[in-house]
A and B are shown apart, each in its own frame.
Chain A
């Protein structure tokens, strides 16, 4: 079963099983979180599960990953994050010291993001039934802005922005597994992006179309989802995509494409071209967005596809992948 790597396989699984079973208009939008109203209050609600190996890696661990991931899902709905819950599944024999370390990390991340972890649950399963520690966080936030965000609002001519160099988190985790004996000076980008998102939304105003955090499947998957949902083409300029030297080097060695590598503190934004310069400036003015870049634009053709303009002026189709990338060339 190739349903772990993000991208098309996960998407197919989700659509086949859950969307079908739970069918409702909010879920069917398949955005990062749900925009709901409760007694007149405009809320955002989201949940995410975290399984990562190793649990501790340069720049973070599963704890701050779980807090930031849910904070970011709320931020991508244009909401201010407020309260989080956490569910913990532990494998029997999991070291208490590690658990304390994870808890401390979660507390620090929550404080930094200005949210409170207000409820939780812990289960211990028998050895072998889980891999150390799994976390599930859920969160609610309040939507204070009067903007409608969503892939369906994207239209031809819009600009595509990314808030910083891509692939840091995924490459860090791959190398941290230690199997490869490869050293690279790279740390996870895990960070809470609600402040960054707010800065962008302030600058873009009603020109903001959609925000996504480029987690599993990376920027390529996000852009494919947007192209598919909006029925538009997305054209990315390869030379404009920010990637750190170290990440590029490690990716080349591992034979992976940074466009497909997960980030945990990078957002992709589509904004009206007229507001692109302002939005980009706002991102760059924020500490988390110093490396932001305009990487491409939305086109009416080809609908549903993402194209990469290569250095030689060629165009390559950037697919929504089924599972891990397999060699396609002979």
Chain B
């Protein structure tokens, strides 16, 4: 080795400091392998900041190692920076892995996300000769449970829920061998020393018996990575209908577990991007157009053109799906509205009335982690729910946070975000704060993530809405300085933040279309054009307002929005006929002085959905808009015209009137849905382009829950890009209220000035 080095020239020595997610992900074995392969001497070890590598050898080989650090890191690593320092050569020989120093101070390991089994582990799972053949808990440094089992830091077996399982000699040998794929894989185990699967308390043949009972149409509670699921054969009409009744879930589609890509392909139409994300290590539920004739029960996803499909997120699910040989409904283990059950005692109590049996195991889940959901449309992966496989990965920020921030999110689909240094850590999906269990998960997440990431906040960011429980929580934190962030500013800022915006970057033209958010003028915002930076925002336009008759009641009853928009003039329409007894009362209520006005884009979709007969009342958030989008006739290309914006107000009443006219004329609902989508998109482009020009802005941002809608998003994007604007949409956090906490954190970190109501406002 020394001779070889000598022949290539003088030895050089360098130290590399690598930061990011580089601990607990097999980084040191990886460096060991690369360095010894290149014939370099030196060492690799963890320290407070990340991984430190010192190598000595030929200059070209040291350069090759640097390149490998930057470009070839292990699957679960996320390298943020690699810093190189030149050192004098010492003539060292050999390469060593330095042990971790658990007493090292300062920021530590970034806990990584729970990850689906890697190819090597899957090969072992299905190899009869392997000692982990059919072991439901096979994992290695490249895969397996992480966030869901971590109890404390530093990340070590003793601080996970695997602590109670003592490694057998064979596993211990792998765990301690720097060249092994399982070197310091904290959850490592095998059939001899790992957790045990039980069906209704009995371990013997648990999986086989579970598969038989599923095959017979029974509903089982199945303990997964981050919580319990409810499973039933997807093609079993009676079983799925029974599950729906038991969950009190009326319409919201159930997700499906497919054993492999071929099975998934029989359920939904896949494209290369969808295949990649389906089979990727994060394993989200992927929403795609369903195939005609997909063999699923009617009750799986009533009246929707899309299905949500995932591939097995754990070895246990691999075995279940493979043995059963057909898709399963795999829905979160809860009754409607409640958080997913993750503790065994709680699950046994809450889920017993819903299921025929329990397939469970004795590896505890420390943190509830829901399934993630993405939509794949036109080759883009659109985040819908960010949880398992993604959380708690940080969002790198384009600036340094000087005072650590806790951001509390909104009210529904709540996440919290902790931000410090150049990173923001959005939590996993928590849920709607109206439940005590969810509120407790919210406070637990704040405390647990703060400890895991060693972030002690000084500032607490919250929504402007005085009645959100997250606001009450924030204002109750007497130890933190509160910063109120307007809802739609937070939406736009969340998108700016994930695209690397900083406090010195000028404003963008933000389009924030969502359901409802409290405006600084005492009206309900939701169709906003904001001139927004991370530091400040000003309303420069909005959708025409209308009364929100009955407040929250109007949100649950889209027909009320039709009544609000059309009033007495809508009496002849079918929707008015269906609500004859209350139509006039609701139209008066919409115009009453005490009734709040709203510029909400979501409520506009509601009105149109009710008008065309798609949906009069909803049972889950955004349902009317989702179903309206799915009705869009792809062959219809025209758009309803909308008059020019006056004083920044986009007269979307024109759209409602045009829809009503076409309904009266008997035009097909799919064509009406298309013309409406196109009309709103075109009106948005017509409002944004001049506003951007007037303020000298070259970037537009699309955020807010309405932009889950890809028909709208893509037409707005195309229109704005055609006008020369750069368009930013969400790639890391959802555009829904799940992204609010990231935006709040970014705004609060930048000083958080209140939103200016803007020009042309009658407030």
Which residues of A are interface residues toward B (Cβ below 8 A)?
Answer: 2, 179-182, 252-256, 302, 305, 307, 312-317, 319, 321-323, 325-330
Contacts and interface: CB of A to CB of B under 8 A. Distances in A.
B491 to A, nearest CB: 11
A302 B443 CA distance: 13
Interface string B550-578: 11111110000000000000000000000
Contact of B552 (A180, A307, A316, A328): A328
A329 B553 CA distance: 10
B374 to A, nearest CB: 20
B247 to A, nearest CB: 9
19 contacts: A182-B588, A253-B550, A253-B553, A253-B589, A256-B551, A316-B434, A322-B467, A326-B466, A326-B551, A326-B596, A327-B548, A328-B411, A329-B515, A329-B552, A329-B556, A330-B411, A330-B413, A330-B705, A330-B736
Given A252-B553, A329-B411, A330-B737, 9 more contacts: A255-B551, A315-B436, A317-B434, A321-B467, A326-B551, A326-B596, A329-B556, A330-B412, A330-B622
A325 B524 CA distance: 13
Nearest to A302: B436
Nearest to B353: A313
B555 A325 contact: no
Interface stretch (B222-230, B333-341, B492-500, B537-545): B333-341
Interface string B40-58: 0000000000000000000
B494 to A, nearest CB: 15
B621 interface: yes
B465 interface: yes
Interface in B498-553: 514-518, 524, 548-553
A102 to B, nearest CB: 25
B630 to A, nearest CB: 19
Nearest to B440: A302
B664 interface: no
A317 B468 CA distance: 12
A321 to B, nearest CB: 6
A296 to B, nearest CB: 14
Given A323-B466, A327-B548, A317 B439 contact: yes
Contacts of B667: none
B248 interface: yes
Nearest to A308: B434
A312 B589 contact: no
A175 to B, nearest CB: 10
B90 interface: no
Interface stretch (B114-122, B271-279, B289-297, B579-587): B579-587
B83 interface: no
A316 B435 contact: yes
Given A312-B336, A315-B435, A182 B467 contact: no
B549 to A, nearest CB: 7
Given A181-B584, A317-B435, A330 B515 contact: yes
A330 B589 CA distance: 20
A314 B434 CA distance: 10
A315 to B, nearest CB: 5
A26 B171 CA distance: 69
Contacts of B439: 317
Contact of B589 (A2, A254, A305, A321): A254
A328 B593 contact: no
A180 B585 contact: yes
B335 A325 contact: no
Report the 9 A-B pairs with minimum CB-CB distance, sorted nearest first. Answer: A255-B550, A255-B553, A330-B515, A327-B551, A327-B552, A255-B551, A322-B466, A181-B588, A328-B411
A325 B467 contact: yes
A182 B434 contact: no
Given A322-B467, A329-B412, A314 B336 contact: yes
B469 interface: yes
B592 interface: yes
Interface in B661-712: 705
Interface size grouping (class) on chain B = 35 or more
Contacts of B338: 314
Contacts of A179: 588, 592-594
B472 interface: yes
A253 B366 CA distance: 43
B609 to A, nearest CB: 15
B435 A329 contact: no
B335 A312 contact: yes
Contacts of A254: 550, 553, 589
Contacts of B548: 327
Contacts of B622: 330
Interface string B705-728: 100000000000000000000000
A314 B431 CA distance: 14
Contacts of B602: 330
Contacts of B737: 330
A307 B435 CA distance: 9
Q: Which one of A255, A322, A325 has the highest number of Cβ atoms from chain B below 10 Å of its Cβ? A: A255
A305 B472 CA distance: 13
A330 to B, nearest CB: 3
B466 A327 contact: no
Nearest to B334: A314
Contacts of B465: 326, 328
Contact of A326 (B467, B514, B515, B584): B467
B559 to A, nearest CB: 13
B467 A328 contact: yes
Given A327-B551, A330-B412, A330-B602, A182 B585 contact: yes
Nearest to B337: A314
A312 B337 CA distance: 10
Q: Which one of B436, B472, B518 has the highest number of Cβ atoms from chain A below 10 Å of its Cβ? A: B436
A179 B593 CA distance: 8
B484 to A, nearest CB: 13
B734 to A, nearest CB: 12
Interface in B381-436: 410-413, 433-436
A314 B515 contact: no
Given A179-B588, A317-B439, A325-B551, A253 B582 contact: yes
A280 to B, nearest CB: 27
A181 B335 contact: no
Contact of A317 (B469, B584, B589): B469
A255 B552 contact: yes
B514 A330 contact: yes
Contacts of B411: 328-330
A326 B524 CA distance: 9
A327 B435 contact: no
B553 A312 contact: no
A327 B555 contact: yes
B585 A253 contact: yes
B586 A253 contact: yes
A112 to B, nearest CB: 33
A3 to B, nearest CB: 12
Q: Which one of B337, B524, B736 has the highest number of Cβ atoms from chain A below 10 Å of its Cβ? A: B337
Contacts of B248: 312
B461 to A, nearest CB: 18
Nearest to B598: A327
A305 B438 CA distance: 14
A327 B582 CA distance: 21
A326 B555 contact: no
Contacts of A181: 584-585, 588
A191 to B, nearest CB: 27
B437 to A, nearest CB: 8
A91 to B, nearest CB: 20
A326 B469 CA distance: 12
A256 B589 CA distance: 13
Contact of B472 (A316, A319, A323): A319
Q: Which one of A322, A325, A330 has the highest number of Cβ atoms from chain B below 10 Å of its Cβ? A: A330
Q: Which one of B439, B594, B736 has the highest number of Cβ atoms from chain A below 10 Å of its Cβ? A: B594
